[in-house]
Structure 1
């Protein structure tokens, strides 16, 4: 990692913490300088505009998400022809997705809140939508996996799978699920998430 890349990552991580704590209104170049512990003007020197700052945050979130998927042995990119996924493969997939979701509710909670803050900002500022395109990669991966699992309509169902998983995450983070679901970071939480994901996979594939 180059010195510039490392510094931008440091600034982006500080921006993520600010977004998680106070939303978009908390995100300023001066606030990032203070949160990152760098001299005033550093963030402006590396990321001159607010849009450049948001782009750096989104890229950092995408990089960390990919690392989490790789750590849990989940595909991070389409792999072309691959063996079909049987019931054991679907169970492994459900368990992996559940582990990642539970991580995003605990150690990665700030990142999840920051991502939602960026998405909400894009509903008011359409020019930001192109920089949030990294979510399309998850849809491509989901379509490929469901195709291997024998889903009837993997393109449509892949998109639905991502929407379901994202909704499950949101519900556990800020919705009614915060009251009724097992506490994040516990075996019960991972088991509950795994059961939910596995139920959807069964519905899509008939497994």
Structure 2
């Protein structure tokens, strides 16, 4: 059972775990109550509809991802103007590798929610709005690294990252996903291709 500060957080965290374990078909108010050890009706009180429950799980997921040390370090590096390609590649690789190793369940839930967003306009709006925060951060990082087209280049990196994540979790590459070092080397190659080769130091 997830350990969370408030009952609303406990409900959202438990809902996310159930999505990862059972898929969205297994997510019900009663299932969350039982898994979280809460009195019957507790989840319905905090999230009246199933759509609200799914939205709460998605918001909780984004909050947990944004609290990851590697992502915090990237944001702090951008804010402080202390950036180089090797550091960005290393932190990006750590974040992505963690997503399909230690945080595999959370990432599986995200894939489930992404598919559901394709069928639900209301969830699509929430999913895209929350996802835009991550894309803006990547755009800012690339601008700080000297990209002449930071938005387009951010799209390339985001699309690559999403592809790696899907392949490592559910695709043909799941049996042997890339190591953190392999990810770091590939990100460096991508950055060199997008930004041009760095001058020798």
TM-score range, shorter chain: 0.7 to 0.9
1:30-179 equivalences in 2 (<5 Å): 30-69=30-69, 73-75=73-75, 79=79, 83=81, 85=83, 89-132=84-127, 133-179=129-175
4+ long deviations beyond 3 Å: 69-72, 76-79, 82-85
Partner of 1:185: none
Contact between 1:11 and 1:32, CA under 8 Å: does it hold in 2? yes
Deviation at 1:119, TM superposition (A): 0.9
TM-superposed deviation, 1:94: 0.7
The verdict on how the C-alpha distance between 1:71 and 1:150 changes in structure 2, with shifts beyond 3 A counting, is closer
Instruction: Give the Cα–Cα distance (whole angstroms) in 2 for the partners of residues 30 and 141 of structure 1.
Output: 37
Instruction: Work out the CA distance in 2 between the residues paired with 1:195 and 1:18.
Output: 35
Residue of structure 2 in register with 1:181 after alignment: 177
- Alpha-carbon shift at residue 17 of structure 1 (Å): 1.2
How far 1:83 sits from its partner (Å)?
3.6
Do the aligned residues in 2 keep the contact of 1:20 with 1:111 (CA within 8 Å)?
yes
Determine helix, strand or coil for the equivalent of 1:150.
coil
Q: Does the 8 Å contact 1:72/1:100 carry over to 2?
A: no
Deviation at 1:70, TM superposition (A): 5.5
- Deviation readout 1:99-152 (Å, 9 max, x if unpaired): 111211122111111111111011111221111121101111111111111122
Gaps of 5+ in 1: 183-188
**What are the ranges of 5 or more consecutive residues in structure 2 without an aligned counterpart?**
none
Aligned length: 193
Tell me which residue corresponds to 2:188.
198
Contact 2:70 2:94 in 1 (8 A): no
Indicate conservation of the 8 Å contact 1:18/1:27, yes or no.
Answer: yes
* 1:151-185: CA deviation from partner (whole Å, max 9, x where unpaired): 22111111221111111111111112213435xxx
The 8 Å contact of residues 165 and 197 in structure 1, kept in 2 or not, is answered as: no
